[in-house]
Chain A
Amino acid sequence: MSHISSKRLFYTIFVSLIILTGLTVFVARQDFGAMNTPVALAIAGLKATLVILYFMGVRYNTPLTKVVAASGFVWLIILFGMTMGDYLTRSWLGFPGR
Chain B
Amino acid sequence: MQSSFPLFPQAASSIASEVDLLYFFILAVASFFAVLVSVAVVFFAIKFRRRHADEIGHDIHGSIALELIWSIIPFVLAMVMFFWGADLYFRIARPPADAMDVYVVGKQWMWKVQHPEGVREINELHVPLGRPVRITLGSEDVLHDFYIPAFRVKMDAVPGKLTTLWFTATKTGSYHVFCAEYCGTQHSGMIGQVIVMEPHDYEAWLAGGRSTGTAVQNGEKLFTQLACITCHKTDTSGRGPVLTGVFGSTVQLMDGRQVIVDENYLRESVMNPQAKIVLGYQPIMPTFQGTVSEENLLQLIAYIKTLKATTPESPEGGQ
Which residues on A are within 8 Å of B, measured CB to CB? 91, 93-98
Chain A residues with Cβ below 8 Å from B262 are: 91, 94, 96
Report how far A98 CA is from B155 CA in the complex, Å: 10
Which residues of A have CB within 8 Å of B279?
Answer: none
- Chain A minimum-CB-distance residue to B259: A91
Instruction: Give the chain B neighbours of A98 by CB distance below 8 A.
Output: 93-94, 163-164
Interface residues of B in 213-268 (CB under 8 A from A): 260, 262-264
By beta carbon, the residue of chain A nearest B267 is A96
Tell me how far the C-beta of A37 lies from the nearest C-beta in chain B, rounded to whole angstroms.
13
Give the residue of B95, B156, B260 whose beta carbon is less than 8 angstroms from that of A95.
B95
Binding site for A on B (CB under 8 A): 93-95, 136-137, 155-156, 158, 161-164, 260, 262-264
- Report the minimum CB–CB distance from B195 to chain A (whole Å): 25
Q: Report how far A93 CA is from B263 CA in the complex, Å.
A: 13
- The complex places the Cα of A98 from the Cα of B263 at a distance, in Å, of 12
Separation of A94 and B259 alpha carbons in the complex (Å): 12
Nearest chain B residue, comparing its CB with the CB of A98: B93
- The answer to whether B162 and A96 have CB atoms under 8 Å apart is yes
Determine whether the beta carbon of B161 is less than 8 Å from that of A97: yes
B137 touches A97 (CB 8 A): yes
B94 near A97: Cβ-Cβ < 8 Å: no
Measured between alpha carbons, how far is A87 from B164 in the docked complex, in Å? 17
B186 to A: closest C-beta gap in Å? 24
Least Cβ–Cβ distance between B262 and chain A, in angstroms: 6
Closest to A97 in B: B163
CB<8 Å pairs between A and B, sample of 25: A91-B260, A91-B262, A91-B264, A93-B93, A93-B94, A94-B262, A95-B93, A95-B94, A95-B95, A95-B164, A96-B136, A96-B161, A96-B164, A96-B262, A96-B263, A96-B264, A97-B137, A97-B156, A97-B161, A97-B163, A97-B164, A98-B93, A98-B94, A98-B163, A98-B164
Q: How distant is the Cα of A92 from the Cα of B163 in the complex, in angstroms?
A: 13
In the complex, what residues of B have CB within 8 A of residue A93's CB? 93-94
Distance of A96 Cα from B260 Cα, bound (Å): 12
A97–B162 CA distance with the chains assembled, in angstroms: 6
User: How far apart sit A42 and B136, CA to CA, in the bound complex (Å)?
Assistant: 43
Interchain residue pairs A-B with the least CB separation, the first 7: A97-B163, A96-B162, A95-B164, A96-B263, A98-B93, A96-B264, A96-B164
- Name A94's closest neighbour in chain B (CB-CB): B262
Cβ of B164: which chain A residues have Cβ within 8 Å of it? 95-98
Instruction: Report the Cα distance A98→B94, complex, angstroms.
Output: 9
A17 to B3 Cα, complex, angstroms: 75
Q: How far is the CA of A98 from the CA of B264 in the complex (A)?
A: 11
Min Cβ gap B88→A in Å is: 14
In the complex, which residue of chain A has the Cβ closest to the Cβ of B92?
A98
Q: How far is the CA of A75 from the CA of B51 in the complex (A)?
A: 51
- In the complex, A95 Cα to B136 Cα: how many Å? 9
Per the bound structure, the CA–CA distance linking A54 and B305 in Å amounts to 60
Which residue of chain B has the shortest Cβ distance to A90 in the bound complex? B264
CA distance A94 to B162 in the complex (A): 12
Assembled-state Cα–Cα distance A91/B264 (Å): 9
A91 to B267, CA, bound (A): 14
Residues in A with CB closer than 8 Å to B163 are 96-98
Taking the nearest CB of chain A, how far is it from the CB of B133, in angstroms? Answer: 14
- Bound: A95/B155 CA distance, A: 13
Which of chain B's residues have a CB closer than 8 A to the CB of A91?
A: 260, 262, 264
How distant is the Cα of A91 from the Cα of B156 in the complex, in angstroms? 15
- Chain A residues near B155 (CB, 8 Å)? 97
Nearest chain B CB to A94's CB is how many angstroms away? 7
- Max chain B Cβ within 10 angstroms of own Cβ: one of A91, A96, A98: A96
Q: How far in angstroms is the closest Cβ of chain B from A69?
A: 32
B158 near A97 (CB under 8 angstroms)?
yes
Which chain A positions have C-beta within 8 A of B137?
97
Q: Point out the residues of chain A lying under 8 angstroms from B162, CB to CB.
A: 96-97
CA distance A88 to B70 in the complex (A): 37
